[in-house]
Structure 1
Amino acid sequence: MALAAYSSTAISGSISSRSITSQELKAPQIGSFRPFVRSPLGNSSRRRCSVNPVYAESKRSDSIVPLAATMVVPELVEKVVETEDFEKLAKDLENASPLEIMDKALEKFGNDIAIAFSGAEDVALIEYARLTGRPFRVFSLDTGRLNPETYRYFDEVEKHYGVRIEYMFPDAVEVQGLVRNKGLFSFYEDGHQECCRVRKVRPLRRALKGLRAWITGQRKDQSPGTRAEIPVVQIDPSFEGMEGGVGSLIKWNPVANVEGRDIWNFLRAMNVPVNSLHSKGYVSIGCEPCTRPVLPGQHEREGRWWWEDSKAKECGLHKGNIKQEEEPQLNGASHTNGNATVADIFNTQSLVTLSRTGIENLAKLESRRESWLVVLYAPWCPFCQAMEGSYVELAEKLAGSEVKVGKFRADGEHKAFAQRELQLGSFPTILFFPRHSSRPIKYSSEKRDVDSLMAFVNALR
């Protein structure tokens, strides 16, 4: 560093001839950017943003120790620091456009804020940042297990916007230990949290320690079970910023109130490059082993960690979204022993609502007069909500036939019973009870459109 090259004589001489300001004592930073004149809003010209990198480690200050030792300590003056009321700011910006929110975030935090880019539709954040005319930073987590299409897309985005994405990588020793002890695909057996913690959460934690704020692409409609109440700006509930401690990091969610279809309309209108995986049915894009295309009738987050229950659809980057109750809550609805105030689903006269006693009796019958198709569901589950239309239509098509269609609410106090006796793995689970068989047959496909469900019924009745 530059200050380390000065001799103690030169330093003493400079102190005796003039006073030293606090700015002069700071070691110069590598990679600082030169501010440029802000362009009018909406200017479509592309510019390269040269900025400080996200700090992966704490900044060293060894080189200023000799200088500090020769100084006369100045009189300390108490400085009053005003704290921002971010809860009030969130309310003030609740109806603001994503562009306004992005502009406010970049204005407040300058070089100490960065956009988290995953390689999916959150490229909209980069486009909004460009439109503000302010300098901005972009970082991403390279887990080492992304799709080839995502890596190519990163390169395309860098060239399109004239930026350098600041990549954060997992610790090689930690990854090596995980793979040696548990193999490459342990998450299929014991859940994704451990792998995500090593490959994503800890690298993110290091990145955020060099920032005072970060910008995410979270939307309320992405995962109703965990993201339904996110504000446009908040004190980060899970991570710390460069100053350390609770409240040291601010989290901005400029598109929190925007629906997915409106994001895509914006991307098309602005001719923004998108990940080629989107054209193959991928909506939410993560690591290759844990992401797949969604099918008709499925919610976009159902393509992530599809082998797990819906309440686990977070990797840990936004773990503050997950409530600690037994089941997720939606829009303030509470759950007490399975009796929630959230509105019920699958409501039609062509469909039978089964009680606990009813489903137990149905399961015990060895010979039935009719076959039954029953969905085990929870009304708060976004994946159950996504298939509501197709299941109701199926029930109406089968009305008057030899197949009865029913529903059994299997959350709350009934969940353990359903897991033990009815093959419940995650919501929704669909069972077919044949007329002359005591054991129900589980619908194993993820396709929940009317034609697929009807083909399942026709093959068994």
Structure 2
Amino acid sequence: MAFSIASSSSTSSAAMASAKIGCSFTSDLKAPCSGAFQPLDCPHHRSLPVITLSTKRSSAVKPVRDGEPKRSDSVVPLAATLAAPGTEEGVREDVGVVEEELNFEELAKELENASPLEIMDRALAKFGNDIAIAFSGAEDVALIEYAKLTGRPFRVFSLDTGRLNPETYQFFDTVEKHYGIRIEYMFPDAIEVQALVRNKGLFSFYEDGHQECCRIRKVRPLRRALKGLRAWITGQRKDQSPGTRSEIPVVQVDPVFEGMDGGIGSLVKWNPVANVDGRDIWNFLRAMNVPVNSLHSQGYVSIGCEPCTRPVLPGQHEREGRWWWEDAKAKECGLHKGNLKQENSHEQNINGMGEISDLFESQNLVNLSRAGIENLLRLKDRREPWIVVLYAPWCQFCQGMEATYLQLADKLAGSVVKVGKFRADGDQKEFAKSNLQMGSFPTILFFPKHSAQPIKYPTEKRDVDSLLAFVNALR
């Protein structure tokens, strides 16, 4: 899916000093008056502490120069970059150039009390065309207004799950016209959606939790989008969700997703409105007189897919309108899994229903039991080679490589190589450490056809091409 580039009109430096919060768009419907309803709106754990903001890995922030980065097909811009005010057409002065390796923990402390506008300006200045705003069609339209006020070129992308409200699609169109931009839409894989609906029906999430559907319709498309970037900008706020967003910083090394260069630490996540109260967001929207999603006037505050979103009553928290049939402390779709605290990792509640949502689910992949993996170990002369991932569903690094491993299974389907998974946490952890060379999650093993000893995948590069090269060299 291609990305386009959005650029804003010029804005005086005074606007930067005076603007305090974010804004949203719609041509006809404006933000409600103040008297009306007021919304509140793994592998090597040593290398990346739970949600650490700093990183010394060179992959985290490599120098970004115009024309230098290689791009994946999913993020090639649809249109040429527009020049920021004061530059010649098609030429960007110092935009996107990062000369030094940055310590994002220190940067987060430096910007802790900065305005959203200042944070947005720093983000766009540092990453230029390699950063994009994630827009959901709700009040995080404020991010787009902030980007416009900086006077710098900017890009906007959104996830079209195929199940959004009609009002949200109308809002997308209004936003594009209002700002003169093209939103870069990412769509779910049609085959995966088809398989889910055929196997479980249209509304399976009401019975077994929303995580599987969100993973297919939102998380995997997001992962594809971020693979073409070095940084992204979100509308997360600390007051949005109890238990999951209370400690988010204004900038961090993304603890879950990978960027253009690949690997943990290759993507930076900016949260310009992290410290802003939801009511202040709406005060800003009214002050700037920008269009908003018409659903807000119907009692919707946090807006997602139509089957999973409903209005909230006065006094209710905004996230109570999302996945209302589930635990109120787990209102996350998976886009921000790094927010979830892991006090007791193997017992972590991922889907809000007391169960951990499993990973690596595919008809081309074998789920091995303890007996199955022991049998593989005993065989000295196997009929076919196997590649097996040792994983834990709660591990953010396992979650991060899920799409890649499923692609590997699809590519090897019909070949002589079998692809499997073995859940190695909990009661199986000591066995995996003692018998399967497991040091951390995930561990990938190859069981050759004519050798009793499994071979451990030796690197953290888990892209499909690297894994295929490993398999083809040994089978």
Q: Given the two structures, how large is their TM-score scaled by the length of structure 1?
A: 0.56
Uncovered stretches (5+) of structure 2, i.e. residues with no partner = 20-24, 26-66, 77-97, 346-475
* Residue 253 (structure 1) aligns with: 271
Q: Pairwise mapping of residues 21-420 of structure 1 onto structure 2 (< 5 A)?
A: 39-41=11-13, 42=15, 55=72, 57=74, 82-325=100-343
User: Would the alpha carbon gap of residues 37 and 292 (structure 1) be closer, same or farther in structure 2, given more than 3 Å must change?
Assistant: closer
Residue pair 1:56, 1:207 contacting (<8 A) in 2 also: no
User: Would the alpha carbon gap of residues 309 and 271 (structure 1) be closer, same or farther in structure 2, given more than 3 Å must change?
Assistant: same
Structure ranking higher in helix proportion? 1
| 1:128-162 deviation line (CA, Å, top 9, x unaligned) | 00000000000000000000000000000000000
Query: What SS is found at the alignment partner of 2:232?
Result: strand
Aligned partners of 2:223, 2:165: CA distance in 1, in Å? 23
Aligned partners of 2:8, 2:290: CA distance in 1, in Å? 24
- State the AA in 1 paired with 2:151: G
Query: What SS is found at the alignment partner of 1:307?
Result: coil
Residue pair 1:55, 1:207 contacting (<8 A) in 2 also: no
Query: What SS is found at the alignment partner of 2:244?
Result: helix
| 1:387-411 deviation line (CA, Å, top 9, x unaligned) | xxxxxxxxxxxxxxxxxxxxxxxxx
User: Would the alpha carbon gap of residues 55 and 166 (structure 1) be closer, same or farther in structure 2, given more than 3 Å must change?
Assistant: farther
- State the AA in 2 paired with 1:308: E
Aligned partners of 1:33, 1:189: CA distance in 2, in Å? 40
**Radius of gyration: which is bigger?**
1
- State the AA in 2 paired with 1:282: Y
Q: Report the Cα offset of residue 272 of structure 1.
A: 1.0
Q: Report the Cα offset of residue 191 of structure 1.
A: 0.2
- State the AA in 1 paired with 2:277: E
Residue pair 1:116, 1:138 contacting (<8 A) in 2 also: yes
Aligned partners of 1:37, 1:148: CA distance in 2, in Å? 29
Q: Report the Cα offset of residue 121 of structure 1.
A: 0.3
Q: Report the Cα offset of residue 56 of structure 1.
A: 5.2
Residue pair 1:87, 1:234 contacting (<8 A) in 2 also: yes
Query: What SS is found at the alignment partner of 2:329?
Result: helix
Q: Report the Cα offset of residue 82 of structure 1.
A: 4.2
Aligned partners of 1:146, 1:102: CA distance in 2, in Å? 27
Higher relative contact order (CA 8 A, sep 6+): 2
Residue pair 1:56, 1:206 contacting (<8 A) in 2 also: no
- State the AA in 2 paired with 1:325: E
Q: Report the Cα offset of residue 298 of structure 1.
A: 1.4
| 1:354-375 deviation line (CA, Å, top 9, x unaligned) | xxxxxxxxxxxxxxxxxxxxxx
Percent identical among aligned pairs is 81
Q: Report the Cα offset of residue 126 of structure 1.
A: 0.3
Q: Report the Cα offset of residue 36 of structure 1.
A: 9.8
Residue pair 1:175, 1:198 contacting (<8 A) in 2 also: yes
| 1:262-283 deviation line (CA, Å, top 9, x unaligned) | 0000000001110000000000
Query: What SS is found at the alignment partner of 1:312?
Result: coil
Query: What SS is found at the alignment partner of 2:153?
Result: coil
| 1:7-42 deviation line (CA, Å, top 9, x unaligned) | xxxxxxxxxxxxxxxxxxxxxxx9997999965333
User: Would the alpha carbon gap of residues 157 and 58 (structure 1) be closer, same or farther in structure 2, given more than 3 Å must change?
Assistant: closer
| 1:399-432 deviation line (CA, Å, top 9, x unaligned) | xxxxxxxxxxxxxxxxxxxxxxxxxxxxxxxxxx
- State the AA in 2 paired with 1:90: A
Query: What SS is found at the alignment partner of 1:105?
Result: helix
User: Would the alpha carbon gap of residues 156 and 171 (structure 1) be closer, same or farther in structure 2, given more than 3 Å must change?
Assistant: same
Q: Report the Cα offset of residue 311 of structure 1.
A: 2.5
Query: What SS is found at the alignment partner of 2:154?
Result: coil
Query: What SS is found at the alignment partner of 1:274?
Result: coil
User: Would the alpha carbon gap of residues 86 and 291 (structure 1) be closer, same or farther in structure 2, given more than 3 Å must change?
Assistant: same
Residue pair 1:232, 1:255 contacting (<8 A) in 2 also: yes
User: Would the alpha carbon gap of residues 204 and 150 (structure 1) be closer, same or farther in structure 2, given more than 3 Å must change?
Assistant: same
Query: What SS is found at the alignment partner of 1:181?
Result: helix
Query: What SS is found at the alignment partner of 2:108?
Result: helix
Query: What SS is found at the alignment partner of 1:120?
Result: coil
| 1:330-353 deviation line (CA, Å, top 9, x unaligned) | xxxxxxxxxxxxxxxxxxxxxxxx
Aligned partners of 1:36, 1:272: CA distance in 2, in Å? 14
Residue pair 1:238, 1:319 contacting (<8 A) in 2 also: yes
Taking only aligned residues, the RMSD between alpha carbons, in angstroms, comes to 3.0
Aligned partners of 2:165, 2:325: CA distance in 1, in Å? 19
Residue pair 2:137, 2:172 contacting (<8 A) in 1 also: yes
Q: Given the two structures, how large is their TM-score scaled by the length of structure 2?
A: 0.54
Q: Report the Cα offset of residue 209 of structure 1.
A: 0.3
Aligned partners of 1:33, 1:92: CA distance in 2, in Å? 29
User: Would the alpha carbon gap of residues 211 and 183 (structure 1) be closer, same or farther in structure 2, given more than 3 Å must change?
Assistant: same
Aligned partners of 1:35, 1:156: CA distance in 2, in Å? 16
Uncovered stretches (5+) of structure 1, i.e. residues with no partner = 1-29, 60-79, 328-461
Aligned partners of 2:287, 2:228: CA distance in 1, in Å? 34
Residue pair 1:55, 1:206 contacting (<8 A) in 2 also: no
